[in-house]
Amino acid sequence: MEVNQPASQVIHALSIDVEDYFHVAALSKVIRPDEWASMPSRVERNTDKLLELFARTDTKGTFFVLGWVAERYPELIRRIASHGHEIASHGYSHQLIYKQSQEVFTEETRMSKALLEDIIGRPVTGYRAASYSITRDSLWALDILADLGFEWDSSIFPVRHDNYGIPDSPRTPYTIRTRNGQVLKEFPLTTARLFGMSIPAAGGGYFRQFPYPLFRYLFNNASKGGREPQMFYLHPWEIDPDQPRFNNASWFSRFRHYTNLDKCEQRLERLLGDFKFGTVSESYHQARPETEEIIVRQDEMIRLT
């Protein structure tokens, strides 16, 4: 299916989760957090390659920065901001929220937000959880995000998955009214409806594993032919086929992490030509002007299965 975008086409959200290859959940059983500092880092090189691509294609996006990375590469974060991209938080230690205590989550999230704000000299109002780990078991994190001053989140994936997902949660941007009475805008990860099922079409491994024409079709399907803004995500390590390989990981983890790394950068450039992208904040505003907000109560999300 060809996608011919008119100049006025909807602006989709382009998001980059700034983390290194050794941070990912797929390799967490073979690389411990206390080993990260000894690993050869490739995040700066790979993120700079993305910045070059986005400059060449006149594309802006939102970079969800891991605090662990920001602490070690503050100049990289300043470069991202200086290119006109939006900076948001990806937490600090890339741990699954539902495996953290509320106290640890609060402290790490506060620390990461303050670190990013100190580096770029402006407020950071957006957040994304590691591995989309705001689920029914960790909805308490929404209260904490609102208390810490975040205004929007992009952590909820309306699919069934072994590590994440709230399957029947809204598929389009909405506002969550938290249990403490505050509001938090939510931009969920993209899913397409096909044969009555929700098919992930947000990026990352799905972008690399599906044939490109199929992914493009699903993304366009989710956007109802370019009428509704969608969320796309990628990691800097996904355009790096030369990264170290860990053959002691399970075959499934290797499949998730390494499939089509050599094709990803070229596919990304094609995607930027097939659809129009901008920052999360820009795309959300187009999707949900203030007069068209959809309100979902946090307590109601517990019942979504």
Confidence at residue 289, expressed as pLDDT on a 0 to 100 scale: 63
Please give the Cα distance from 215 to 47 (Å, whole number): 23
Question: What is the predicted pLDDT for the residue at 159?
Answer: 86
pLDDT digits (tens, 9 = 90+) for 71-105: 999 999 999 999 999 999 999 999 999 999 999 99
- Residues above pLDDT 70, as percent of the chain: 94
pLDDT at 114: 98
pLDDT of amino acid 284:
93
Burial 225-239 (b: 16+ CB within 10 A, else e): ebebbbbbbbbbbbb
Query: What is the residue-wise DSSP string for 143-187?
Result: HHHHHTT--EE-----S--SS---TTS-SS-EEEE-TTS-EEEE-
Domains of the chain: residue spans and CATH = 12-301 (3.20.20.370)
CB atoms within 10 A of CB 181: 8
> Between residues 281 and 167, which one has the greater pLDDT?
281
> Residue 52: its pLDDT value, please?
98
Closest CA to 190 of 218, 225, 149, 162: 218
The whole-angstrom separation of Cα 305 and Cα 302 is 8
Residue 292's pLDDT is what? 57
Residue 290 pLDDT level (bands cut at 50, 70, 90): low
Q: Which amino acid, 18?
A: V
pLDDT tens for each residue of 2-53: 444 443 489 999 999 999 999 999 999 999 999 999 999 999 999 999 999 9
Amino acid at 83: H
Evaluate if residue 215 carries a pLDDT over 80.
Answer: yes
Q: In this predicted model, what pLDDT tens digit does every residue of 98-130 receive, in sequence order? A: 999 999 999 999 999 999 999 999 999 999 999
